[in-house]
Structure formats: structure tokens, C-alpha cells
Structure 1
Amino acid sequence: MRDFALRTTCYLLLILTGLTMDSVAQKDQKIFLNGVIKNVNNEAVDGATVFLKDAKEGHLIEQTLSGKDGVFSFTLKAGTYLISISYLGALSYQSDLIKVSSDANLGIIKIDITPRSLKEVVIQSSGSKPLIKIEGRKMIYNVEKSIAAQGSNALEALKKTPGIIVNQDNTITLNGASTALVTINGRPTYLQADELAQLLKSMSASDLKSIEVIKNPSAEYDASGTGGIVNLILQKSIAEGFNGNINNGIAYGISLKQNTNMNLNFRKGKVNAFGSYNHNFGHYAMDYDNDRTTNGKTYLNANHDVDKKHSIGSTLGLDYAIDTTKTLGIVINANFSSGGGLITPTTNIFDESTGALLQTLRSESSYPDQMAKRYNTNLNYRYKGSNRTSLDIDADYG
């Protein structure tokens, strides 16, 4: 009798353990949520920004772009979510509560895109200047009017720009392509993705006047911008005499961060001299994951990456106005970054057929200190005549 009771207790414990493991596995099981975005003419919408939000807290979990066929998809866990969609010149879309416990297809979601809405769309913020303005092919995001961008660096401001996604490898995506051309004051940067990210991290968001997003550039723009153009417009004083500003910021999230930026400007008659200094110190944490299925097993890999690089940037420039339509200028940029980082990956291995958790692997690896230096000199000539006639000539060395 005693042995029977012991065996019964063991069986019950095994059943409860199995139910618990099954519950955990189901909770961590990946679920696919997808849909198709079309306009009122039943045509696929390419490059719409789709936001996935937590229904309870309203926090943004992930964002993606629709493809050329209008399809978008998310990989997520069971829960309740909200979907919202924005598109340059299109009315925004907000879903009802979406409760998912298994793979789900939202079907066709229609948004209204009309030629009239593409002429000029304005999203007004407090103050006289709009936060977002759309003029034809161009969307203008006025960073100086964005409360969300204040106190951050230029890369963070870029991430908050509608329609732009900065991937974990620092490539900038627009229209679903990784070939977006990034320019500063209309001039190409000629930097690799990591170098550009370090440059933008060294710049304060307060250095930016606006960010221009051009989804489908016309022939007047650089041919390398076939995936779209992102143009960062820097603040520049038009006041006579000497002026400048210094900003210091401290932020604490997972770790302490400190940034300083200084801008100086001297303008007299036809001559304008300007310079800036920026630094960004602190650790930046990123979380990203991926999954794969092979030989009957599903591998879910989650990475916690802490970037410990410090970055410093400086600029010196001189413009000479030949007359009201012609300007000759020189700009010298110097950017430095140094530091290492730490990656902590965790891999959960599941049985593909049952969803049972088979094994969990954890590790930690650091990458060594890296030093990068970048110098660039730009000579430029600008002509802006009447009837929108313009001519830009640039010569770069670096």
C-alpha cells in the first residue's frame, strides 16, 4: 500500500511537471502574425511602416516595412497586441485589440493614398513650425520641434523618424531596402554603416534642424540613392557677428550616458565661419534575436549586446557668398571612436513537433577595444537661381 501511494505521488509529480514544461514551451513558442497592405484601388502598398505595440502598456515592441507585395510580418509570443500603420501622405491606421495564441493572418488592410494627400500633409506640434510636413516626394521631420528627440543623439533622432528603420548592424532601411543614401546638408558622407553610426552617435540631436526623407528620388538626386535618400539638415546661424551654444546631457537607462555638444559661428558680410565639437560617452545596450529550424529542432537565439565605444566628432567650415546665388565653401570633419563591447547570447532549443524545451545554452563573449579615426575634407560650390534652377559641385578627400 505504501509503495502504491509512493508510485501514485511520483506519477502525479511527473504529470504536473510535464504540464508546467508544456505551458512554458507554449508561452515561449514563436508565433507568426502577418497581413497585406493595399490602397483603395486594391494595389499593394510598398514601404508602409507597421508598428507592433503592447496592448496593455501601449509600448512599441517592433516596427517593420511592408514589401513590394504589401506583405508585412512579425514573429512574436502569445499575447494581446495593437497594430498601427503610417505611410507618407496616407491616413494612419489603428487596429482593434488583436489576441494571438497561434499563427494569425490579418488579411488585407486598406489605407487611403490620394494624389491630393501627397501634395502637402502637415502634422502640427506646439509652436508655429510643423513637426512633420510632406511636400511631393519629400517628407520633412523637424527635429528641433520634436520633444521626443531632445536629449538624445542624432542616431536616436533618426530612429524616431517615420519610415526609417536602423537595423542591428546599423544599416539604414527605407522602402524596405538597405541602400538608402544618407547625406548631411545634401552632401554624401561616404561612410560605412558602422562609421556612420559612430558619427551620428557623436552628434547631439540638437545639432539637427530637420531630417528629409525622399522615398523615390527624381533624376536631380545622386544616382546612388535608388533605395531612397535621408538628408540631415544641420543647424546654422544666420545672425551677424559671433554666437554659439553649449549643451550637456546626462541620461540613465541600463547604464549612465553623458553627451556634450558645442557649436560656434561667426558671420560678417559675405563670410561665414563655423565649427562644432561633440562627444558621446557611455554604454549602449541592444537586444536582438533570430530563429532557425533544422533537423527537427527549433533554435531561438536572443542576444544582449552592450556597445562600450566612446565617440568624438568635430567640424570646421568656411563659406564665402560670391553673390546672392553663388556660394563657395570648405568643410573639414574629424571623427574618432574607441572601445569594445560585450555580447551575452542565450539559445533555447525546442522540439519542432512538440514544442518542448530541450536545452538552454548561455555564453558571454567580449570584443576587444577598437580604435577608428576618420577625416574628410569637402570643397563645394552651390548655385541656386530662379525657377528652381540649381547646381551643386562637391570634391571630397578623406
Structure 2
Amino acid sequence: MTPQPMKKCLIILNVFFLIISINSVEAQQSSSTITGRVVDKETLPLPFANVALYAANDSSLVKVGFTDDQGKFILPGLELGSYWMKISFVGFQSYLSDKFDLAPNQELTWKEVRLENGGETLDEVVVQGDVPILEVKQGQITFNVAQSINTVGISTLEILRKTPNVLIDNAGNIRLMGRTGAIVALNGKILPVSGSDLTAYLQTIQTDQIESIELITEPGAQYDAVGTSGVINIVLKKNSDLGSNGSFSSGYSIGNKSRYNTSLSGNYRNNLLNVFGSYSYNKYQNPYDEDFLTQQRDLVIDLVAKGDLALNRHAFQTGIDFNISPKSVIGFLANGSFLDGSLDIADRATFASSSGIDGLLMAESNNLVTRTDLSFNLNYRFQNENGTFFNVDADYAYFDNSLNNRQPNQILDPSGSTIITENLYITNAPTVIDIKSIKADTEFALGQGNLSLGMKFTDIQSDNTFEFFRAEEDNLILDPERSNDFSYSENVTAAYTSYKINWGEKYKLVTGLRAEYTQTKGNLQTQQSFESDLFERNYLNFFPSVSFSYLPNENHDWSFGANRRINRPNYKSLNPFQFLLNEFYLEQGNPFLLPEYATNITIGHTYKSTVTSSLTYNQIKNLFGDLYLPLDDNRSLGTSVNLDKQAQLTLNISAPLTVSEWWEVYGTVTGFYVQNKFDTLNTSFDAETTSMSLSLQNTFSLPKSWNIELSGFYNSPTLLGVYKTGTIWTVDIGAQKSLWNDRGSFTIGVSDIFKTNYLPQLVSSSLITVDQRRIEDTRRFLVSFSYKFGNIKLKSSRARDTGVDEEKSRTN
């Protein structure tokens, strides 16, 4: 049964979304628009020029826009009034218009603006204006975390769970736009963890370090082909101000247990170099309750678990960019984090057959974890005034992860008074991964368009050791049958080409082709019996992509995109050792797991640069799936397998609305049709479902520099691989006060007000049924303070992506 509070909240959310959608149509019908074009003295278009509209009565900023590749801009959704406009671009004199009046429903076409050379230098440019919480464009949705009140003082994992069109299951698998196979990257570098290790890592990164989260659903050929549903790129803040400056922030939250974080960053920049660094500390605690109900053959196991996760993370970043000439920059970047913590789990289970309760399980699991992540990047970039550039990245990354587990297990009689069996298991599982990468990219004009070329080589070495001990008479005895050493190497050589061209002002085409040759080798040293101790696989894949846009007029923008993508298995899922969760549950990797491949086709439309919609068809071959299998001794084995295929159809609609000058709303609704099929390991699965998700962001601007944000999302039941999920929804509220001329801010809030942000999951087959639910410490009161010191004049900074991309999402 659906809880009554959830029903009421869901009704309110749906009715409210319907109302604002209707009002949005009316608002569009009664709003005005300004369009225009900006060129230089040679009448060549100036892309990314800043266009700012001000109210004539008090010079307050009304709207900010930027010019596109053709130098065009559009300022939609304007009300009746008097305004003046400023247009600026680095190295050019700014344009200031006279005062003018805008009538209701007017579509004003501004005369072509020609900017003259000179004027503002790079050191003098000040960019002002509000950044929206959500930005939607072809192939990408950007969630501007730094602009959201309800993201202050919480972890990155919680942010992703609040991000529109992102869903994370109980095992840490991430779904983007309703599709499985999303990859998480940090500043363009794909994280080398997945599943529960990924969620543990994301729990320790606080939002005060994050600028935005990019949901890239249509990556081009220049991106690694990994990510069958796309890439979730977490962009960290980087101070780009001139002179000496920095920032300090600290946050505290309380739920069942407390969490706190603090960070400090500093920056020095002049015309020759930029030196920057940051340090952060995070204390994360997450008690949770978990239920497992398993039925296999004649046995039913009802397990209740209580977990307590505690993590400490120290992180740093330091770097330098040196301008060796007006056109060339060389830079060095180092990132590192050091994590230690514990996870204590208490399992209590009854197991029964048709004759009644057979006994009880009492199990403890005490885990100690340490993790060191270090990465280094050396970058050179050349770019001239014609847009030609050449970029080289050399990267090295090192990951050292250690997990020590102590697990006492007791089997008791049905009354719980007599111990039938008692065992103590100790495991030690260190993992070391080295990643080396070098890549080179270039782009230059060719014919009427631009040609991009690039190459990348990656070498990965991973060593996974698993030592299993039994305690016998106060001695630890190594069990060679359940211990092993698994080494894995992977080399990927990639090359790509891409060409983009514009035909007039209405047509734009981007085509690309990426080739990747992969060589893998796994070597298993163990006394267990396997078909082969040496696993080798070499394969060559091609990944085409195409993107086409058509702009028939200023009100409509149509687009079409198609691409092919790949997900390679993460390193842990390939290791065939058996990891004991308790006497009834084990986990094991699968060295024969194949890569999964996805084909994506999308048709998109944007109305008046505000209302966006898209329809996507996605098909995945060899879909990764987590499967429970019954063993002969009444235990259950969790492993990864390749499902036959998944087909999905997705419809997404997003729309902003200015209800009043103090109330802004952004709504997103997505509908899915999903079909999953497989028949493997004596288990078959054939299911389909239609589901939807809804997201709302309300921002209220109040007097005395106060802002309030009310946000929430709702996801209906759907399919995640072989899992059928239940309903999940949440509502958050927060308030923020700006202090000292926007140098400081104070934020308070409550997350998951109704404590509904948990995901029920069910997997059912002819062999086994598993029903599980996990409730974490999500309802929390949060308070945060931040302060900026030094020169806080904004200036655009050099964008830096490094070469370690795909590899940093797959290691464990």
C-alpha cells in the first residue's frame, strides 16, 4: 500500500506541475523576445559574447545571454518595460545601447552590433548575472550545484540522487535518463570505482567543492566511447580570479548521526601564471537498515541488517598554469585523497522450510577500509586566433585500496538458545591499480568547417589479492581453496576524427568516428578449479556518431543525434574469487563477462530557447546484470552476467517558468518504456514496464538577500536490469542569506522531509526470489557557512580535461 503522506505529496506535485505547465504556455504567449547578432569589424561572428539586459529605472540586471557560433543571441521571456543593453567580449570595446521600450508580445530584432577592437583587457572583464540551476541543450543537461540552496552541506552521492533523470540502486549502479550504464567522471576523468565502492567514494565529496554536474547523453567522437547511457561529469570548483584570493566553507548536518566538512582554497593569478591549491576534510556517518527476504527451492530466509558506515577523507588539489606565449599554455595538476573508515554490519536472520523454522543466523561483519587515490597530469595547449588548437595530456594515476573484514557467524536452533555451528572468518583484500595515459588532440579549419583529430593510448595494471582465513583455536589458518591473486592488464589504443560544418544560419552537422583496439589479460593464481587460469581477449570496435541541428526560425530548434557506445567490465567484477557476506550469501566475479554495447538515437526540439523535449531510442547488447543464483548448500551467490538485450524508449520534457519576479520554477518530466530479456545459467527473464519521473525546482527571492528553495522528485516503479524497483520520492527545503556584499553566505535546510528517499528492489526467477529494501540516514537538518576573501572579480578560466577518462570508472 502507498503511504498516505506520499499520496498527498504526489498529488500536490503532479497538480502543481500541471498548473505551471499551463501557466508556462500562457506566459510564453504573453512574453516578449529580443534577438540580434554580434560581429567584429570584419563582420565575422563573435561567439560567446556576453549580452546583458538591464532595467532602465534602477539598472538592475534582468537577463543574461550569450551569442552562439553564428554570433546570434536571444533573450526570451521578457515583460513589458523600459530597458538598456550591454554587449561585451574580451579584447573588444563594449557596446551600450540607449534606453528603449518593450511592448507586450513584441519580438524585437536588434540591429547588428559591431564591436571594435580594444577596450576591456582580459584583466578587466567582469561578468555579472544569475546562472540557472538547470540548463538544457542538445545532448547535455547541466545541474549548476553551486546555484542550488538544497545542495549545500550534503555529499555528492546525495546530490546525484537529487539530480533530474539520475537513479542509483542499492548496489550503487547508476541509471541516466532511465538507462543503465552511466559512467561517473570527476573533472572529465572517469572514476576508477563502481558499485558500492563508487557510492562510498561519492559519499565523502561535499557539494561545497562542486560547481556543476553535467549529464552528457550524446558524447561525440572526441570522448572515450565508454558509458552506454552517457557520462555524468562532476565539475569541481576552480578559482579563476585575478590576484590573490580564496574561499573557506564549513558545514554540519544532523540526522540519526552527525556529519561535518570543511574546505579551504587559495589562488594566485597574473598574466603569466596561475597557481592554485585546495584542501578539504569530510567526516561522513551513515547508519542504515536493510531487509532481505530470499526464497529458493523450499527454503525461506528473512534477514534484517543494521549497518553503520563511518568515513574520514582528506583531499587536496594543487596545480600551476604557465603562459609560455600568448598562444601557448603548459600546466601541471595533482589531485589526491586519503580515506579511512569502517563499516559495521549486524545480520539477524531466520531460515525456514515447509516444516517450519529451522534455525537462526547471528552474523557480524566488521570492515576496515583504507584508500589512497593519487593522479598527476601534465598538459600543453596551443591555440591561435583562428581557432586552431593542439592539446597534449600525459597522465598517471595510482589507486591503493585495502579492505580487512572480520566476520563471526553463529547458527542457532529455532529457540535461539543452542549454538549449532560457530565460525570466525577473517579476510584481507588489497587492490593496487596503476593507470598511464597519453593523448593528443587537434582541431583546424578545413573547407567550410572544422576537422578534429586525436589519438590516445592507455595502459592499466591491476593486482587484486584475496586472503581468506579461518579462526581455529585462537589461530588464523589461511584457506588456500578460498584465497587467490588476480592480476589484470588492459591496453587501449584509440583514434578518432570529427568534422563539423554549418550551412548558413539554419543547418549544423557534426560527424565523428572513433576506433578503439583493446587488449586484456587476466591471470588467476588459486587452488580453486576454473576452466582456465589465464583469460585473454583482444577486440577492435568502431564507434560512429552524428549530430544534426536545424533552426527553421527563432521559435524552433530541431536536432537529431545517433551514436554507439561501450561499457567494459570493471576490474572487480572480473575477479572470480568468492567473497563471503554471511553463511547464506556470497559474491563472486565473472572473468568471462563481455563488454556491453549500446546504440542510441535521439530527436530533440527546443521552443523559444526555453521548452526542450527529446525522444530517444536505446538498445543495449550484452547488458550487465547482477544476478542471484541458488547453490546446492542452500546458500545464494550474487554475480555479474551478460543479459541478452535491453530496449528502451524515453520521452523527456523540460521547461522553466518565471511565476513572478521573485518566484522561478524549473520542471522536468520523463517517461520510459523499458524491455529486458535474457536466458542464461538456467534462469530466464522477460519483463517490460512503462514508468515516469518528475522533478521540480522552486526558487523564491525574498527581501534582505534571502533566498528559499523548495525542490523534489518522484520516480515511479521501473526496471533496473533484472530488478523491479518500487516508488521513490523526496522533498527538500532550504534557505540562504547572502552576507557582506555576497562575499559570505549562511544556509540552513532540511533534506528528505518525509524520509521517503529509499529504493525497494525485487528480483524474481524460477530459481530464486530476492526482495530487498535499504533505508539510509537521509532526513537531515543542515547548516553551512562560506566566505570568499581577496579579489573576487570573475574572469573566465582555462578549461582542463585530462587523459585518464574511461579507466577511472572501472577499478575496484
Bin the TM-score by the shorter chain: 0.5 to 0.7
1:370 partner SS = strand
Alpha-carbon distance change, 176 to 367 in structure 1, aligned in 2, over 3 angstroms: farther
- Contact kept, 8 Å, 2:349 with 2:362, in 1: the verdict is no
Letter of the 2:366 counterpart = Y
Alpha-carbon distance change, 323 to 185 in structure 1, aligned in 2, over 3 angstroms: farther
- Contact kept, 8 Å, 1:217 with 1:225, in 2: the verdict is no
Q: How does 1:1-398 map to 2 (within 5 A)?
A: 54-57=3-6, 128-175=130-177, 179-191=181-193, 196-322=198-324, 326-347=328-349, 361=360, 363-382=362-381, 392-398=391-397
Tell me whether 323-332 or 141-150 shows the greater mean CA deviation: 323-332
Taking only aligned residues, the RMSD between alpha carbons, in angstroms, comes to: 3.9
In the alignment, the residues of structure 1 paired with residue 203 and residue 338 of structure 2 have an alpha-carbon distance, to the nearest angstrom, of: 11
In the alignment, the residues of structure 1 paired with residue 258 and residue 316 of structure 2 have an alpha-carbon distance, to the nearest angstrom, of: 23
- Give the number of equivalent residue pairs: 289
1:255-299 deviation line (CA, Å, top 9, x unaligned): 122211111111111311111111112421234444432224544
In the alignment, the residues of structure 2 paired with residue 379 and residue 59 of structure 1 have an alpha-carbon distance, to the nearest angstrom, of: 54
- Contact kept, 8 Å, 1:300 with 1:347, in 2: the verdict is yes
Letter of the 1:216 counterpart = E
Greater share of helix: 1
Structure number with greater Rg is 2
- Contact kept, 8 Å, 1:330 with 1:380, in 2: the verdict is yes
In the alignment, the residues of structure 2 paired with residue 388 and residue 297 of structure 1 have an alpha-carbon distance, to the nearest angstrom, of: 68
TM-score relative to the length of structure 1: 0.61
Letter of the 2:378 counterpart = L
What is the CA distance between 1:326 and its match in structure 2? 4.8
Tell me whether 130-139 or 255-264 shows the greater mean CA deviation: 255-264
TM-score relative to the length of structure 2: 0.32
Alpha-carbon distance change, 359 to 225 in structure 1, aligned in 2, over 3 angstroms: same
Alpha-carbon distance change, 349 to 364 in structure 1, aligned in 2, over 3 angstroms: closer
Alpha-carbon distance change, 239 to 298 in structure 1, aligned in 2, over 3 angstroms: same
What is the CA distance between 1:251 and its match in structure 2? 1.5
What is the CA distance between 1:303 and its match in structure 2? 3.2
2:203 partner SS = helix
What is the CA distance between 1:310 and its match in structure 2? 1.5
Letter of the 1:366 counterpart = S
What is the CA distance between 1:377 and its match in structure 2? 0.9
What is the CA distance between 1:144 and its match in structure 2? 0.8
Alpha-carbon distance change, 345 to 336 in structure 1, aligned in 2, over 3 angstroms: same
In the alignment, the residues of structure 1 paired with residue 386 and residue 350 of structure 2 have an alpha-carbon distance, to the nearest angstrom, of: 62
What is the CA distance between 1:319 and its match in structure 2? 1.9
The residue number in structure 1 matching 2:546 is none
Letter of the 1:372 counterpart = R
Letter of the 1:395 counterpart = A
What is the CA distance between 1:202 and its match in structure 2? 3.6
The residue number in structure 1 matching 2:493 is none
Greater share of strand: 2
In the alignment, the residues of structure 2 paired with residue 93 and residue 363 of structure 1 have an alpha-carbon distance, to the nearest angstrom, of: 51
The residue number in structure 2 matching 1:47 is none
2:226 partner SS = helix
- Contact kept, 8 Å, 2:344 with 2:367, in 1: the verdict is no
Letter of the 2:138 counterpart = G
What is the CA distance between 1:318 and its match in structure 2? 1.4
2:220 partner SS = coil
- Contact kept, 8 Å, 2:217 with 2:229, in 1: the verdict is yes
What is the CA distance between 1:181 and its match in structure 2? 2.5
In the alignment, the residues of structure 2 paired with residue 149 and residue 272 of structure 1 have an alpha-carbon distance, to the nearest angstrom, of: 29
In the alignment, the residues of structure 1 paired with residue 315 and residue 296 of structure 2 have an alpha-carbon distance, to the nearest angstrom, of: 45
Tell me whether 204-213 or 243-252 shows the greater mean CA deviation: 243-252
2:165 partner SS = coil
In the alignment, the residues of structure 1 paired with residue 327 and residue 167 of structure 2 have an alpha-carbon distance, to the nearest angstrom, of: 36
1:5-42 deviation line (CA, Å, top 9, x unaligned): xxxxxxxxxxxxxxxxxxxxxxxxxx8xxxxxxxxxxx
In the alignment, the residues of structure 2 paired with residue 301 and residue 384 of structure 1 have an alpha-carbon distance, to the nearest angstrom, of: 61
In the alignment, the residues of structure 1 paired with residue 364 and residue 386 of structure 2 have an alpha-carbon distance, to the nearest angstrom, of: 59
What is the CA distance between 1:203 and its match in structure 2? 2.8
Letter of the 1:56 counterpart = P
- Contact kept, 8 Å, 1:265 with 1:274, in 2: the verdict is yes
Alpha-carbon distance change, 282 to 136 in structure 1, aligned in 2, over 3 angstroms: closer
1:335-363 deviation line (CA, Å, top 9, x unaligned): 111122111334466889xxx99689563
Alpha-carbon distance change, 199 to 263 in structure 1, aligned in 2, over 3 angstroms: farther
2:151 partner SS = coil
What is the CA distance between 1:162 and its match in structure 2? 1.5
- Contact kept, 8 Å, 2:352 with 2:359, in 1: the verdict is no
Gapped regions of structure 1 (runs ≥ 5): 1-30, 32-52, 61-80, 86-90, 95-119
Letter of the 2:165 counterpart = G
Alpha-carbon distance change, 326 to 165 in structure 1, aligned in 2, over 3 angstroms: farther
- Contact kept, 8 Å, 1:348 with 1:357, in 2: the verdict is no
Letter of the 1:377 counterpart = F
Q: Which has the higher contact order (CA 8 A, sep 6+)?
A: 2
In the alignment, the residues of structure 2 paired with residue 292 and residue 386 of structure 1 have an alpha-carbon distance, to the nearest angstrom, of: 65
In the alignment, the residues of structure 1 paired with residue 233 and residue 198 of structure 2 have an alpha-carbon distance, to the nearest angstrom, of: 13
1:283 partner SS = strand
1:121-168 deviation line (CA, Å, top 9, x unaligned): x9xxxx832111111110000101112210112232222212223343
Letter of the 1:308 counterpart = A
Tell me whether 179-188 or 290-299 shows the greater mean CA deviation: 290-299
In the alignment, the residues of structure 1 paired with residue 342 and residue 368 of structure 2 have an alpha-carbon distance, to the nearest angstrom, of: 4
Tell me whether 332-341 or 303-312 shows the greater mean CA deviation: 303-312
1:269 partner SS = coil
In the alignment, the residues of structure 1 paired with residue 277 and residue 232 of structure 2 have an alpha-carbon distance, to the nearest angstrom, of: 23
Alpha-carbon distance change, 249 to 171 in structure 1, aligned in 2, over 3 angstroms: same
Gapped regions of structure 2 (runs ≥ 5): 20-73, 77-128, 398-812
In the alignment, the residues of structure 1 paired with residue 240 and residue 275 of structure 2 have an alpha-carbon distance, to the nearest angstrom, of: 11
Letter of the 2:346 counterpart = T
- Contact kept, 8 Å, 2:132 with 2:144, in 1: the verdict is yes
Alpha-carbon distance change, 255 to 323 in structure 1, aligned in 2, over 3 angstroms: same
Letter of the 2:151 counterpart = A
Alpha-carbon distance change, 181 to 282 in structure 1, aligned in 2, over 3 angstroms: closer
In the alignment, the residues of structure 2 paired with residue 246 and residue 227 of structure 1 have an alpha-carbon distance, to the nearest angstrom, of: 36
